[in-house]
Amino acid sequence: MINSLFLINPSGEMFLEKHWKSVVSRSVCDYFLEAKEKALEPEDVPPVIHTPHHYLISIYRDKLFFLSVIQTEVPPLFVIEFLHRVAEMIQDYFGECSETVVKDHMVMVYELLEEMLDNGFPLATESNVLKEMIRPPTILRSVVNTLTGTSNVGDTLLTGQLSTIPWRRAGVRYTNNEAYFDVVEEIDAILDQSGTTVFAEIQGVVEACVKLSGMPDLTLSFMNPRLLDDVSFHPCVRYKLWESERVLSFIPPDGNFTLMTYHVNAQNLVAIPVYVKQSISFFECGSDGRLDVTVGPKQTMGKTVEGVMVTVHLPKTILSINLTATQGSYTYDNGTKLLVWDIGKLNPQKLPNLRGSLSLQAGAPKPEENPSLNIDLKIQQLAISGLKVNRLDMFGEKYKPFKGVKYITKAGKFQVLTITASINKYT
Amino acid sequence: MTPMQKLLQLPVNAMNMVKTAQDQMGQQDEAKSPVMTPDGGNHNWYNGEPNDPRHIRFGSGGGDQEERAHLEEGGGSLSSLVTQPLRHDDLKEMLDSNKDSLKLEAMKRIVAMIARGKNASDLFPAVVKNVACKNIEVKKLVYVYLVRYAEEQQDLALLSISTFQRGLKDPNQLIRASALRVLSSIRVTIIVPIMMLAIKEAASDMSPYVRKTAAHAIPKLYSLDPEQKDCLIEVIEKLLADKTTLVAGSVVMAFEEVCPERIDLIHKNYRKLCNLLIDVEEWGQVVIINMLTRYARTQFLNPNMNESLLEEGGGEKAFYGSDNDDDTDDEEDKEEKEKKKTEATAIVKRKPYVMDPDHRLLLRNTKPLLQSRNAAVVMAVAQLYFHLAPKAEVGVIAKALVRLMRSHSEVQYVVLQNVATMSIKRRGMFEPYLKSFYIRSTDPTQIKVLKLEVLTNLANETNISTILREFQTYIKSNDKDFVAATIQAIGRCATNIGEVRDTCLNGLVQLLSNRDELVVAESVVVIKKLLQMQPEQHSDIIKHMAKLTDNIQVPMARASILWLIGEYCEHVPKIAPDVLRKMAKTFTNEEDIVKLQIINLAAKLYLTNSKQTKLLTQYVLNLAKYDQNYDIRDRARFIRQLIVPTDKSGALSKYAKKLFLALKPAPVLESPFKDRDHFQLGSLSHLLNAKAGGYQVLPDWPEAAPDPSVRNVEVPEWTKCSSREKRKEKKADKPFYSDSEGESGPTESADSASDTASGSESGSGSEESGSGSESEESNEESESASEEDEEEEGKKKKKNVEKIKARKPVPESESEPSSGEDVKKSEKKSKPRIGSSESESEEDNDSESESSESEEEESEEESEEETKKKKKTTASKPPSKPPKKENKKEKKEMSLLDFDDFDPAPSPSQVTPLNNFLSSSLVTDLEGLSLTDNVLSPTTIIPSGNLKTYELLHRITGEGLSVEYCFSRQPFSPDPHMVAVKIQFTNSATSEAKSLHVEDAKLQSGMRIKEFPEIEVLPAGETVSVVMGIDFCDSTQAANFQLCTHTRKFFVSIQPPVGELMMPIFMTENEFKKEQEMLLQSLGQLMGMNEITEKLTLEEKCQGEHAVVQRVTTAANLSRVPCGSDKECRFAGKTVTSGSLVLVSVVTKEDGAAQLTVNCEKMVIGTMLVKDILQALTQ
């Protein structure tokens, strides 16, 4: 399966390597670096590269390339999914996944990688199990023991791998037993110039933070499970019960985990929380243009829209801009032509507006492409799809846990298309 | 042991070194190691160590700076040593010291070096000495080092072997496992025999974890020494028979790497693998699913073989089609139907294809995994369905694949490649998700291009206009590569769909005036291809393009235009020579590709219109003659000979016209993904469209199915059961964390040390479930959850737990993969079955369930014999067995067996009634029973007088028409899955109401309505009643519909109380208890899911048996289960739609205290029912 792993930073330095089978020379990465040079953006590097003797499968995440070397047939998704797990594991252990973090904890990352794969085949990828074997850096690692040692130490530490519930470590004890669930929904939408919805859907995820003692068996039910069009679960969820009853029944892992992700496909029924009025226009003659954007709340179910941000990639031929915002502030990077307008909270009484003039490079033709506005927003205490958790029951343990559910709505890939109109200056 | 010793005869020097190391470490036991026999070897490899030139080389080698930097961050105190060239000396010193902390620090630095890719191999001797270090962390890092460098320093690596060999014998399974893991990771050829022995031993280890490690070690050994293949296959065969989920994934992985061609090894394990699949860890699932896909391709028949036939047989098709909204019960039901169908077809011989039940098993057991969070698992299931499922069922994977498209871009990339291949074969599958493939400006280019590919594949007459509109926006994108791809996509749509060809062409022609040259060029190329299809009608386009030659500079586009004009010069007779004239002028400055086309054009024109172009052609050919490029010179010479008639010209010149102006076939614009599906989807080979190393070809379906009986498993006969249903439902039950009990058994006993929390809990859990079910027998021993009894209960539990622990070793030996000898079995039989061993028996049953019917029929005779045997054992069983509880269990077990054995003929239809109360998922059985139910229903108390009526339409809103309804509690004869609703119309108006009927039902998905026949006339003042049927799908969602008269329409809705969603069934007290127990167990050991218990105080009026019965039956449509005691009342029913059992028991105590227990598979129904009954009893 997976032969070797290289971590490569954007400048092409290989700062960590791990081999699970015979050592593969790092010169194999040259093929990758070559492809990387060719690609305009790091995202454009092909995930699978074929070299004379090896196959290179890579992911780009958190500004790092995770490059694995493969020698024989293996499902590419298998490798990709695993590489993402590695990134998640680093994130989980050290709070973020970045070059400096990995360099600071080189030995521990190496040990973790050693445990995650055996001979290139995944062995322990559940964070609960890994954390039993290798404690995260915050805890004194005096008791860490994995391979041998006195028998009782090994026993208490590795049981996670032995159980058929590998995601949960044994002997969990808490004084405060709590279970929190965050229902986070993201709206993916494309609105056209006139504000009509071209495409809209809602992606949801239920993030859980469960700190319960013993082996609790939880059942989470929704008021309106029929809303959910497509779901995927953490392995702890019993598929059959969902199929027959539409309830989530599971023995949770300890700590933070993603319980389920779902998709609401209501097409036009998706409530779009904001509307955007925009016009970007260029004068027929001369090299000037105008930009005018207004954002206002639409269907917000009585909640305030926060964290509103508008991002526009302006046409390449723009030379400079001169805008004024009635609310918030804007930044503009002339190199990337990226305009970011950070609005903040949306006040329905006084709608934020950004307007001003654009000037084009002298002699440059009127730009043809239509920049699209990317909108970012956040609404607390609202799941835009209307999904509601009905109740959470616990079986198998005697104590009474503290339970909490939080709802958040965010904008996912929320785009507003524009038309660049041309206007005659003199009319 | 002898071969090992021989192999490990080590050089004397090595021995000495070890001794010094030991002296330093003060570890004496090392010397006792049997393998360390001195030998007069003459290796001198260690002597030179201090002055070894390698050191100097490495010391001064590259990466110096970085290393130093690292050391400085590592430990400041040691920085003085760093400056010396032999830097690693300090590390050696640290490793040799007595302090663990120093050793640890040194090891950490060494491992950091390895991680950075720095060479640390010269430290090997110093490190390997620490392999026996007491400090676990040091030891672990030493292992890490060893695994990395052992291959390079084979001799020295041998020093560590004895440590691992000792580890292999350790009583702790974890140590055994890790020793094996490291031992097998050391790639030293000389220890192959040792590894082989170790693997063999570990493969029969008690602990599943060690067995898993053994499975992991197999491919390692294989890659080290392929000669061992045969031995390894034996081990694989043995491990494949393992029944634990822990081992399954790893051993299949080993199978795939070592002997993927030995498909015969899978036969016996096929069903087990299918059943375990859902509980295997994610990575194992991927490997197993991929392997099973290949297996199924060799063993089953192509389900789409008779596609046309299937379509004709409408019934069959509906049967497959409706598969989407099933739940598991339904599926079983369907399989049953399928079975019947099999029989039917066997007689009629009309439909030759019948899916093998094993094939169906695979499809059914993999389907839930589409919901996995792991993209690789989802993809694996998707490819399995694509390659194996009947056409009508493949659709289920589309949704899951579309979901993956929201994942990371790499995942998207792979998924889109596969979707592109699939969408060519099964376009309809992805059509509903068309919009999900729309392109966002933020997508990386490679994703955009793939999405475009999919969109093009999905285009058809109905959606083409939307797609083209979408394409139009893409053309304005910044990303030029993407724009080019879009134009090509438009071209492909135009060729594939005749209706839009002209529209597309017009669109493309408009693009010709685009400012961007690339866009224009790409359009020209595409237009050229399109025009080739119908050139006659488009001479104006050709003219337009001819004008473009003045502006377009992109060589490919110029060449395309010239080719077009040459090819169709007859359509543009006036322009063509002019173009040639212009081209002749610029000839010398053109690119080669354009020059070639100019020559071409000249030749063609010369042949058709030599009068005007003769001179021009000569001129061009002359220019070409002296061109720098020899291709062009050659071409010019060749063409001159061919077209210009001279006396020497050969026979070919006569045919010049035919050669140049032959009708050329229009190019077919094909997807690059066409026919890629001969590679297994989701594989690396598919992605690269080239066979990757180690790729196993997906075989074609066989012509005739191989013998399915090879998958039958030899089963211990004593528990063989004759009913299909039973086996099946066991199968269905299993996947709920099935093995937790069966497996933790061996685990616990393997470590005699303190038990894990989970182990003891699960033990007590199962006990609880046992006691819960028995509580009905006697009042005192009420529910386990009830507080009064808790103390007592607790004590008992404790005792039982102890007992379980004591017993554990015994069951474990059973679960050992032993071949079923009769002696052993009969021993087992006579052994008393204690409560906790219940799960075990279940596991046994499960393994039997893998036996097929055919075998069963053969064994009918045997089973009679068994019966006798069993009776004997029953009789021989000492009647005074331990506690009462256990006795009961035992009895139940026996009666279960007896029933099966006395059953005269094992044909499913006859078995059903008898077996019904043994099954937990009762759908099939109850269906068979529905007639009997009706016969028995008189015993039910139907409180006919007090049927509650609800208002549907008030007299005032109804303008004189008032409508009431009640749930009549009569079976609805047209459809037994519907609830009968009696509707009473009263016309209090002055005029008559006409044509009363139902219209426009707005129902939740799955719900159905059977309308009442239209009431033609309802005279004023009259009342009429009708009955309609509603299938509420076992939910309390309201059914909304319109009630229409000849003048008006009224929106009305009927919402059923939960108690009306069921119908009574008749049961005896014993049956009731068994069912209740079944329900509790059907979720494995996780009790509580199907049972809800509430304590309550009965209202004064309600005390007394009759009152309770009255109130409960009013609240819910249940029938009373006759019983001896008047302290308890039991009621039974099943839900109308799915036929799930609903069991209610009310146990009354002193002073009106009572306890209500509801058991129902449907949790929601159970919860609501409890509420309703509580209210009824306490009001």
Q: For residue range B93-115, list pLDDT tens digits in order.
A: 888 888 778 888 888 889 898 99
Q: Do B682 and A77 touch (CB under 8 A)?
A: yes
pLDDT in tens, B1100-1151: 777 777 788 888 888 888 888 877 677 788 888 888 887 788 888 888 877 7
The 3-state DSSP class for residue B999 equals strand
Give the residue from B760, B754, B719 showing the smallest Cα distance to B741.
B760
Can you give the pLDDT at residue B441?
79
Residue the block writes with tokens 């622990």: B805
Q: Do A232 and B290 touch (CB under 8 A)?
A: no
**Of the listed ranges A319-323, A350-354, B200-204, B548-552, the one predicted with least confidence:** B548-552
Q: SS3 for B842-866, per residue?
A: HHHHHHHHCCCHHHHHHCHHHHHHH
The rounded distance, in Å, linking the Cα atoms of B88 and B123 is 7
CA distance A229 to chain B (A): 9
Q: How far apart are the first and last CA of chain A?
A: 69
Q: Do B379 and A77 touch (CB under 8 A)?
A: yes
Can you give the pLDDT at residue B1052?
83
pLDDT at B330 over 50: no
**Token digits of residue B97:** 């010291």
Output helix, strand, coil percentages for chain A, rounded to the nearest 5.
Answer: 20, 40, 40
pLDDT at B773 over 60: no
Q: How far is residue B259 CA from its own chain's centroid?
A: 24
**Most confidently modeled range among B116-120, B132-136, B518-522, B929-933:** B116-120
Helices (H), A39-167: 76-94, 99-104, 106-116, 127-133, 151-162
A158 to chain B, any CB pair closer than 8 A? The answer is yes
Give the residue from B817, B852, B835 showing the smallest Cα distance to B727.
B852
What type of residue sits at position B819? S
**Token digits of residue B1059:** 């108690």
pLDDT at B1165 over 60: yes
At B817, the pLDDT band (50, 70, 90 cuts) reads: very low
Q: Do B380 and A75 touch (CB under 8 A)?
A: yes
At B55, the pLDDT band (50, 70, 90 cuts) reads: very low
Can you give the pLDDT at residue B804?
45
pLDDT in tens, B356-414: 888 999 999 999 899 899 999 999 999 999 999 988 888 889 989 988 888 899 999 99
> Which is more confidently placed, B16 or A279?
A279
Size of interface A-B (CB pairs under 8 A): 309
Can you give the pLDDT at residue B233?
92
pLDDT at B19 over 90: no
Can you give the pLDDT at residue A167?
80
Q: Do B283 and A14 touch (CB under 8 A)?
A: no
A239 to chain B, any CB pair closer than 8 A? The answer is yes
CB B1092 within 8 A of CB B1149: no
The rounded distance, in Å, linking the Cα atoms of B915 and B918 is 5
pLDDT at B717 over 60: no
CA distance B511 to chain A (A): 13
CB B621 within 8 A of CB B630: no
A362 to chain B, any CB pair closer than 8 A? The answer is no
Residue the block writes with tokens 């006993």: B749
CB B243 within 8 A of CB A41: no
Average pLDDT, chain B: 71
> Which residues on chain B are in Cβ contact (under 8 Å) with A263?
403, 406
Q: Do B376 and A22 touch (CB under 8 A)?
A: no
- ∠B347-B348-B354 over CA atoms, to 5°? 85
Left if phi > 0, otherwise alpha if psi is -120 to 50, otherwise beta: which for B232? alpha
At B306, the pLDDT band (50, 70, 90 cuts) reads: low
- Pick from A147, A163, A230: CB nearest B403: A230
Please state the length of chain A: 427
* Sheet architecture: strand order including A353-360: A318-325, A353-360, A288-297, A274-283, A420-423
DSSP for B595-647, written as a single string? HHHHHHHHHHHHHH-HHHHHHHHHHHHHHHHT-S-HHHHHHHHHHHHHHS--S
* Pair type for strands A178-191 and A402-416: parallel
A105 to chain B, any CB pair closer than 8 A? The answer is no
Instruction: Give me the mean pLDDT over the B1048-1076 stretch.
Output: 81
Can you give the pLDDT at residue B885?
44
What type of residue sits at position B902? F
Neighbours of B573 (CB within 10 A): 13
> Which residues on chain A are in Cβ contact (under 8 Å) with B696?
73
**Token digits of residue A26:** 């790092």
CB A417 within 8 A of CB B473: yes
pLDDT at B931 over 50: no
Q: How far apart are the first and last CA of chain B?
A: 80
The tens-digit pLDDT sequence of chain A (427 residues) is 899 999 999 888 999 999 988 888 888 899 999 999 988 888 889 999 999 889 999 999 988 999 999 998 999 999 999 999 999 999 888 888 899 989 888 888 998 898 888 888 988 888 877 777 777 765 444 444 333 333 333 334 455 555 667 788 777 888 888 999 999 999 888 888 777 887 788 889 999 999 998 888 999 999 888 888 888 998 889 888 888 888 999 999 888 889 999 988 665 567 888 888 888 887 766 677 888 888 888 877 778 888 899 998 888 778 888 888 888 888 988 888 888 999 888 888 888 999 888 888 777 777 766 678 889 999 988 888 888 898 888 888 888 889 999 999 998 888 888 766 665 544 4
- Interface test with chain A among B121, B223, B410, B448, by most A beta carbons within 10 Å: B410
A21 to chain B, any CB pair closer than 8 A? The answer is yes
pLDDT at B326 over 80: no
pLDDT at B793 over 70: no
Which whole-number Å values give the CA distances from B757 to A119, A135, A168, A214, B201, in the listed order?
Answer: 32, 21, 12, 8, 29
A146 to chain B, any CB pair closer than 8 A? The answer is yes
Helices (H), A198-274: 239-245
The rounded distance, in Å, linking the Cα atoms of B598 and B624 is 10
Q: Do A80 and B175 touch (CB under 8 A)?
A: no
H helix or E strand, kind and range, residue B812:
helix B809-815
H helix or E strand, kind and range, residue B519:
helix B517-531
Can you give the pLDDT at residue B527?
85
What burial class does residue B608 get, using C-beta atoms within 10 Å of its C-beta: 0-12 exposed, 13-18 middle, 19+ buried?
middle
Show Cβ contacts of residue A331 under 8 Å, excluding neighbours closer than 6 positions.
A339, A340, A342
Q: Give per-residue burial for A334-348: e unless 16+ CB within 10 Å, then b.
A: eeebebebbbeebee
Can you give the pLDDT at residue B650?
66
What burial class does residue B438 get, using C-beta atoms within 10 Å of its C-beta: 0-12 exposed, 13-18 middle, 19+ buried?
middle
**Token digits of residue B463:** 């959606």
Which whole-number Å values give the CA distances from A148 to A112, A270, B136, B143, in the listed order?
Answer: 17, 56, 6, 11
The rounded distance, in Å, linking the Cα atoms of B742 and B841 is 9
At B508, the pLDDT band (50, 70, 90 cuts) reads: confident
Can you give the pLDDT at residue B1046?
79
Can you give the pLDDT at residue B909?
39
DSSP designation for A366: P
The rounded distance, in Å, linking the Cα atoms of B415 and B681 is 10
Please state the length of chain B: 1179
A368 to chain B, any CB pair closer than 8 A? The answer is yes
- Interface test with chain B among A69, A119, A172, by most B beta carbons within 10 Å: A119
> Which is more confidently placed, B1045 or B1124?
B1045
A232 to chain B, any CB pair closer than 8 A? The answer is yes
The rounded distance, in Å, linking the Cα atoms of A96 and B988 is 75
**Token digits of residue A175:** 């004084």
Q: Give the pTM.
A: 0.65
Q: Do B368 and A239 touch (CB under 8 A)?
A: yes
Residue the block writes with tokens 């596991």: B843
pLDDT in tens, B218-246: 999 998 888 889 999 999 999 999 888 88
Q: Do B281 and A153 touch (CB under 8 A)?
A: no
The rounded distance, in Å, linking the Cα atoms of B190 and A325 is 76
> Which residues on chain A are in Cβ contact (under 8 Å) with B147?
114
The rounded distance, in Å, linking the Cα atoms of B318 and B341 is 14
